[in-house]
């Protein structure tokens, strides 16, 4: 149980990965939109999204030829919000 939590913290403990999660909190997005909103290259966004899907943090929805991604569980959104609030208070 703790091992998965540690793996998740390792995964989101990188600035680019964290930015992508923040971008997906605000709205569902395709790789192009997430890359544009975060300033991260499309190829890196795509690689990171694959890791998030593998860890079951985000899910994809297909519409036509586009794939949209969103955070799978509101609990993750709550954890990120609490972490940001914690940092702001310090």
pLDDT at residue 1 is higher than 90: no
Domain count, the chain: 1
Whole-number pLDDT of residue 27: 82
Q: Identify which of 57, 66, 69, 62 has the alpha carbon closest to the alpha carbon of residue 24.
A: 69
Q: How far apart are CA 29 and CA 35, in angstroms?
A: 9
CATH of the domain at 35: 1.10.10.10
Span 32-84, pLDDT tens digits: 999 999 999 999 999 999 999 999 999 999 999 999 999 999 999 999 999 99
Range of the domain at 52: 2-89
């Amino acid at each position: 149980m703790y091992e998965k939590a540690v793996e998740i913290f390792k995964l989101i403990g990188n600035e680019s990965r964290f930015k992508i999660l923040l971008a997906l909190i605000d709205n569902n997005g395709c790789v192009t939109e997430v890359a544009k909103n975060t300033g991260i290259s499309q190829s890196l966004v795509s690689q990171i999204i694959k890791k998030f899907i593998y860890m079951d943090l985000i899910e994809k929805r297909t519409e036509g030829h586009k794939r949209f991604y969103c955070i799978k569980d509101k609990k993750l959104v709550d954890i990120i919000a609490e972490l940001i609030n914690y940092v702001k208070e310090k």
